[in-house]
Chain A
Amino acid sequence: MLHVGLTHFLVISIALFSLGLYAVVTRKNAVMVLMGIELILNSANINFIAFSKFGNFGLQGQLIALFVIVLAAAEAAVALAIVLNIYKTLANINVDEIDSLRD
């Protein structure tokens, strides 16, 4: 069990996913929610690359991980623009207090 194999990487990925989901569910600040989403995407990437290596799928898993990183960058940019707009309109980015679509 001490020898590092596929299971070790999967366990790390599960732990990272749960921590990210915890941040998304419990934190009030919208920027913290975005950080949780980044943790979740990272755990998915670890899964992709681990299965790509231990399942001997060549480089396809690494390629998908690259695509995920690109989409994460696009997501962060758009989400932060939305958060900035919300702050300009409502002067507040606590996700439990924002409940109106317009001011």
Chain B
Amino acid sequence: MTTYDIIFYLFAAVTLLSAFFVVTNRNIVHSAFYLLFTFFGVAGIYVMLGADFVAIVQLIVYVGGILILLLFGVMLTNKITNIEIKTDSINALPASIVLGLFTGALGAAVLNTNWKVVESPAPEATTTALGNLLINEYALIFELLGIVLLIAMIGAASMARK
């Protein structure tokens, strides 16, 4: 067990435990706050994989943006007088059985496959290289994503304003 392994298991435990609480907790606000820890754990896993810029983007966009949006959604779709924001589950037992089998099948497939792993070079800062790729090779996709974001912003604003 190297230090790398220990840190990996720490982040994995944070991610999976909080994700489990997200899907099982009955209070939506609690679920949203557990989702915060899941996103932090996933960002840590990105760092373990040498993706520092993606980890920072994950923190900024998910924790700073999407999570706040989801909390807004929770607040705006419940009555203010309703302090206990609870929600039920349906079909919990059949869903657990089917998803358990599904997870087992996927896990068996992953564990039994002989993955061809290429030794990658030591991780280094990726921001410069990502920026170069983004405005050279992937310039078209970059522009298209900008248009997608603009359309999503206009569409969401006009839909929510009515």
Contacts and interface: CB of A to CB of B under 8 A. Distances in A.
Interface residues of B, number: 81
Interface in A43-84: 45-46, 49-50, 52-56, 59-60, 62-63, 65-67, 69-78, 80-84
A54 to B, nearest CB: 5
B77 A4 contact: no
B57 A69 contact: yes
Interface on chain A toward B: helix, strand, loop, or mixed SS? helix
A14 B29 CA distance: 25
Given A62-B130, A76-B66, A87 B77 contact: yes
A50 B22 CA distance: 24
13 contacts: A9-B45, A16-B38, A18-B102, A22-B95, A26-B89, A31-B73, A31-B77, A39-B22, A50-B49, A76-B66, A81-B157, A84-B76, A87-B76
Which 9 residue pairs of A and B lie closest in terms of their CB atoms, listed nearest first? A74-B152, A56-B118, A81-B156, A29-B87, A81-B159, A23-B23, A81-B160, A77-B156, A26-B89
Interface of A: 2-12, 14-23, 25-32, 34-36, 38-39, 42, 45-46, 49-50, 52-56, 59-60, 62-63, 65-67, 69-78, 80-85, 87, 93-94, 96
